[in-house]
Structure 1
């Protein structure tokens, strides 16, 4: 009686705590716009902090992985370079105006940036990734520049191509112009004004190539350097980039900047008046230094250089005593605002490279939420109806436990300040199907006790005590895979691992404690009968061991077929593993694949035209949504060029939220992902082997691992045959299959172990057959409830998690098959092998 009261008190306390943590989430997401407007920003922020956050794949926004390049820093500078970079990026993001941004460190040299609800991708990328190394450099005298250029021409003319056809190949604009033979470098330049030189936009790549040659670099004095203007200028109908010859050592850096503000220029200079500018002021030390520099160099030109690009190079007319100046050459006031932000927050201590980027548009996020919620509700209703129909009153109690399980899960996410992602919703759906597993185990045990003539009270007590160990073993193995998945997964996949882990923990609590409290209350008065329904599978007597060799043969053939496809045709790797860029583009008017391919055949990039017409282009379900995937070794610059090309060509045909999703995965990240995938599978299998060998015997562990390999290879082979992409969600599904299949196998093994102790005179094959038959009802019922919700996920979850749901569907079916026809028969084969060895030794 005392333990009944304790259990009741624990359940009541757990429900009270769950409702306490759940209330802010319910309130926040049910607030009307009018109610939100009446709340102060502080109140709304406090409520938001206590509610479950939505991941970027549901809310929309941008996810970045930045890698800080520490290679050029001195050892003492590397110690805190990543921390300083993270602080500077945090300051920039805070001034950017994004709600609830996340900036955190990952590993030794990486920074994760999450920007929910972001719409202006290009602006954010520039603001975050810009190093913002501001320098003030003096231009070298014109005579020195011309002397260096002359020496460059001499060096290149000596080593340049002599035959006419080679000259034509290098200088296509003037194949007959002999001036280019003697002036291969300056022949591509034009005078702009009295002193400056310019290069036509189409000639910039050639000039850069010539400038990078080792023999040319040797001509340039060590204290000088050629730098390009930040932007081209239109002169006489042609676009030119100015090229400057500057002192390599800066006179002053951006470290002296105290403040920077956007403004609009005034005066009579047409390049400044009415144009956006950035006014800056310096620190006290900067005032003195700036005054000294300008006073000592009156009449010379001082270039303002940002990240090795010259924004302007004005002539110093007089000494500037107050340490104030302005940066011109900007296209918009928005650009001026962003430049002012990066100057105020300071330069990054080292360059950062974007090695992984994921952008989700708000329409795709809203679509994912709608489909996810619908799948959860339908899956929940199907399980509820089935449990009531099959287990009557006990099924209704299990449904109540299922509702509490979901309440506890969401409350725990809120209490842990967790984030709900689309794979996380998939984890909740899977939890709905799997959480009734423990109840099915208990109810089947209670049915066995009732068939043996036990009273309802005794049947309930024995049922729970006998099923407890099996429940713990089965769920702990699934928990191992969830932990491994969390360790090796990223972002949304970790969300799946989190919800799956919490679902497993709470399902054990609700099944073992909550339902026990209710059933104890019902049968406390020694009720003669208990409404638990009748099993559809009564006393099966199937000889599973007898068909063992046929099962082995069939499985081996199926796996071999899959492996042949895997080896000769190869798997289809998703963007996570292959690297590159993938865009999901929405058109509001009909567009053909051919039109998109034609547009990508000429993508303007760095002064040239790239042909990306061989990109993979797919139309999704005959809709106006297309997937575009292309190899990308240049990273974000090429992605931006493709975005601009699509916007330029299809401007009138694009929807409002036309870029539904964009993913950039660098080669390094793709390689790391594949390595993590292999490690995750191996660590999962190793963890299973150790646990089962500890809880059972080594031979049981080996049999379970054989069954798991069977399930993974069968599923992977079938996915390869179906040409389903392998990505992180599919990997998550494969690991979930490992846990789920082992869950089934352990239930059978536990019954076999129990029979081995009770039936010492029976043969091992008879015991295995009996163990499989006695757990057959539980195995099929659990698989059926899980399969119901997984099929709902497959048909209604949407394209984003289709591969995940497909792999789970195959895995649930194959896992059920292997727990019956593979794992236990392997034990029989092992035992027969041992018996043969013993006979040989005796003989």
Structure 2
């Protein structure tokens, strides 16, 4: 006999109601989106009457999660960037030079005086005055090497040291270059993500492509150039000792020194030591503020290591100028007035409020470890996105009408039950997409359209099986029960194999392919649920009320 326990009936209807409630905000997309944005602004302190009015557009007790629209539906910017991994080699060598210099100075009795020689960006050449002490010098420098902490570089050191005449040559090992390249791209990927998240964009797609490329897609942003302004700045902040100040960009410099322009003073150039005292990597916070004269500035704070180095340098160099350098431009060069032990300070300059805010965002997100070269950039207008949405609506409506008509004509009342379950099914899909914060793309709409076609497949199997059981002169109750029992294995086999395909697509694919896989996978889950439980529950409730002697499927 057909029988479903009361608690199961309640649970099935609760799942349906919860899914439809989660999907409901998408029917009022613009209103809910404005309300969510206004609530976020109020939490950040922008509690104005206009924001209160926008926030009140949607009841606070209702679900407010939305399906995020992808780049092809909402419009936005697309960038493909190549990370200039070679830039890191030079900075690594510059950072290593003070350590090598101090180590060799401790062996002056053996190696004599040391002098850095002009060299390629990815190496350091050091000349010693006593070549007979070369073996000891090589031993000391090699003692500074560190093991590579990767599986591919296990057992290798990060530097290679060799001698040529009276010169020591230090280079990064090939294993370290490979490990450094991987670290650089991973770090760049994370910093790009943090910078984009800082400005509040919705559901960006930021993925690594190949060995040294990053794909960036941000829906809802105005243009590719606007996106490049957010992420394109390297924002490498360093604090360097000043050697001299002048107006000649080609002023002679010593080894380990360089000439860079001033950002605020046109025609002024600073000669600074290339090796920084402290770098932006040791910053833990940066916030826009105002200086004592009311001009926009940026407050910063170092971590423990940076604070110690910053404090020691300011203690030993009172009265000397100190350059604050951002991307090879001096933004400020104050004279050290006193010891600064706390590891915090302020960056002043000719900033606007917007510039100081942007600088704080860049510094807080961290410096890009290397420059980015943009190989491809596209701006997708919202009109194209609207065309995609309209085309997707037409495709979905056509699929719906065709399937609903076919089911009603083929299976009569049972087909109508299947159609109701199909509508619930689509609502559950959108409810799940909203709940997990998934991004809907044009291929995702294709996945929903495909699900509409596949969702009735389980009902077709069940109804055809019921037809066969009715031909064997079994009663309608027993025929319905056997129809569901005998069709179950075929339904599960078909949907499990398709679900495995969706999982593989999600794991191996990227971007639009993943969007298709997500909607297909969720659609399979909801279609099995509605076919096995929802449709069956409606048929049982109808049968209990009508108690027909015969049925037609």
1:410 alignment counterpart: 430
Task: Tell me which of 217, 222, 231 is aligned to 1:119.
Answer: 222
Unaligned 5+ runs, structure 2: 36-51, 93-145, 150-178
Counterpart in the other structure of 1:197: 249
Following superposition, the deviation at residue 386 of structure 1 comes to 2.1
The alpha-carbon distance between structure 1 residues 358 and 477, as it changes in their structure 2 partners (threshold 3 A), is: farther
The match for 1:343 is 363
What are the Cα deviations for residues 267-320 of structure 1, in whole angstroms up to 9, with x where unaligned? xxxxxxx9x9745566675466347546145xxxx654323x224586x7x553
Q: How far apart are 1:461 and its partner, in Å?
A: 4.0
Aligned position for 1:389: 409
- Give the corresponding residue for 2:313: 289
1:31/1:13 Cα in 2 relative to 1: closer, same or farther (>3 Å)? same
SS at match of 1:250: coil
Q: How far is the alpha carbon of 1:522 from its aligned partner?
A: 5.1
Q: Do structure 1's residue 398 and structure 2's residue 418 form an aligned pair?
A: yes
Write out aligned runs for 1:785-824 (5 A): none
Alignment partner, residue 531 of structure 1: 552
- Equivalent position to 1:26, from 24, 31, 34: 24
What aligned pairs does 1:725-744 form with structure 2 within 5 A after superposition?
Answer: none
Structure 1 residues 457 and 319: CA distance shift in structure 2, 3 A: closer
Q: CA deviation at 1:459?
A: 4.0
Cα contact 1:278–1:340 (8 A) shared by 2: no
1:248 to 264, 271, 274: 274
CA distance in 2, matches of 1:46, 1:55: 27
CA distance 1:231–1:360, shift in 2 (3 Å): farther
Does structure 1 conserve the Cα–Cα contact (< 8 Å) formed by 2:418 and 2:531?
A: yes
Q: Helix, strand or coil: the match of 1:261?
A: strand
Alignment coverage as a number of residue pairs = 437
Instruction: Measure, in 2, the Cα distance between the counterparts of 1:512 and 1:462.
Output: 13
Specify which of 473, 478, 498 is matched with residue 493 of structure 2: 473
Cα distance, 1:507 vs. partner? 2.2
Residues 340 and 411 of structure 1: CA distance in aligned 2, closer, same or farther (over 3 Å): closer
Q: TM-score, normalized by length of structure 2?
A: 0.62
Supply the distance in 2 between the matched residues of 1:44 and 1:358 (Cα, whole angstroms).
38
* Structure 2 CA distance for partners of 1:527 and 1:97, relative to 1, 3 Å: closer
Q: Which residue of 2 aligns with 1:261?
A: 288
Secondary structure of the residue aligned to 1:5 is: coil
Q: Would the aligned equivalents of 1:224 and 1:245 in 2 still touch at CA under 8 Å?
A: yes
Counterparts in 2 of 1:124 and 1:230: CA distance versus 1, 3 Å:
farther
Does structure 1 conserve the Cα–Cα contact (< 8 Å) formed by 2:80 and 2:375? yes
Match of 1:223 among 256, 264, 267: 256
Residue 431 of structure 1: CA displacement? Answer: 1.0
Q: State whether residues 55 and 420 of structure 1, in contact with CA within 8 Å, keep that contact through their aligned partners in structure 2.
A: yes
Bigger fraction of residues in helix: 1
Shift of 1:223: 1.7
1:409–1:502 contact (8 Å) kept in structure 2: yes
* 2:70 maps to 1:55: yes
Aligned to 1:310: 329
- Which moved further from structure 2: 514-523 or 45-54? 45-54
Shift of 1:485: 0.9
Distance 1:367-1:112 versus aligned 2 partners, 3 A rule: same
Residue 96 of structure 1 aligns with which residue? 199
The change in CA–CA distance for 1:100 and 1:265 in structure 2 (over 3 A counts) is farther
Contact 2:21 2:63 in 1 (8 A): no
Alpha-carbon distance in structure 2 between the residues aligned to 1:424 and 1:349 = 35
- TM-score normalised by L of structure 1: 0.43
Distance change >3 Å, CA 418–CA 341, structure 1 → 2: closer
Matched, 1:14 2:12: yes
CA shift for structure 1 position 396? 1.3
Shift of the 487–103 alpha-carbon distance from structure 1 to 2, 3 Å rule, reads closer
Measure how far apart 1:384 and its partner are: 0.9
Counterparts of residues 154-553 of structure 1 (less than 5 Å): 195-197=247-249, 222-225=255-258, 227=260, 246-254=272-280, 255=282, 259=286, 261=288, 278=297, 286=310, 289-290=313-314, 292-293=316-317, 295-296=319-320, 303-307=323-327, 309-311=328-330, 319-321=336-338, 326=347, 328=349, 334-348=354-368, 360-451=380-471, 455-520=475-540, 527-532=548-553
2:332–2:349 Cα contact (<8 Å) kept: no
Per-residue deviation, residues 522-546 of structure 1 (Å, max 9, x unmatched) = 56677454333xxxxxxxxxxxxxx
1:134 corresponds to which residue?
A: 237
- CA change 1:515–1:42 in 2 (3 A) is closer
Whole-angstrom distance in 1 between the partners of 2:204 and 2:527: 33
Question: Does the 8 Å CA contact 1:387/1:396 hold for their aligned counterparts?
Answer: yes
The structural deviation recorded for 1:339 is: 1.8
CA distance in 2, matches of 1:509, 1:256: 52
Contact 1:88–1:345, Cα closer than 8 Å, also in 2: yes
The answer for the alignment partner of 1:4 in structure 2 is 3
CA gap 1:347/1:505 in 2 versus in 1, 3 angstroms: closer
**C-alpha spacing 1:526/1:354, structure 2 compared with 1 (3 Å):** same
SS in 2 for 1:433: helix
CA distance in 1 between partners of 2:360 and 2:82 (Å): 24
* 1:103-134, Cα deviation, whole Å (9 max, x unpaired): 89999999887755333643443433534221
* Deviations 1:774-801, CA, capped at 9 Å, x for gaps: xxxxxxxxxxxxxxxxxxxxxxxxxxxx
Aligned equivalents of 1:257 and 1:510: distance in 2?
A: 51
Q: Cα distance, 1:57 vs. partner?
A: 3.6
**Contact 1:263–1:336 (CA under 8 A) maintained in structure 2:** no
CA deviation map 1:655-704 (0-9, x unaligned): xxxxxxxxxxxxxxxxxxxxxxxxxxxxxxxxxxxxxxxxxxxxxxxxxx
> In 1, distance between residues paired with 2:60 and 2:511?
23
Secondary structure at 2:517 match in 1 = helix
Partner residue of 2:115? none
Relative to structure 1, is the Cα distance of residues 253 and 9 closer, same or farther in structure 2, using a 3 angstrom cutoff? closer
8 Å CA contact retained: 2:287, 2:357: no
Shift of 1:407: 2.7
Secondary structure of the corresponding residue to residue 319 of structure 2: helix
Secondary structure of the corresponding residue to residue 325 of structure 2: strand
Secondary structure of the residue aligned to 2:412 is helix
Indicate conservation of the 8 Å contact 1:288/1:321, yes or no.
Answer: no
Aligned twin of 1:794: none
Once the two structures are TM-superposed, the CA of residue 433 in structure 1 deviates from its matched residue by: 1.2
- Following the alignment from structure 2 to structure 1, what is the Cα–Cα distance between the partners of residues 226 and 265? 20
SS of aligned partner of 1:4: coil
Distance 1:515 1:350, change over 3 A: same
Tell me: CA distance 1:341–1:320, structure 2 relative to 1, closer, same or farther (3 Å): farther
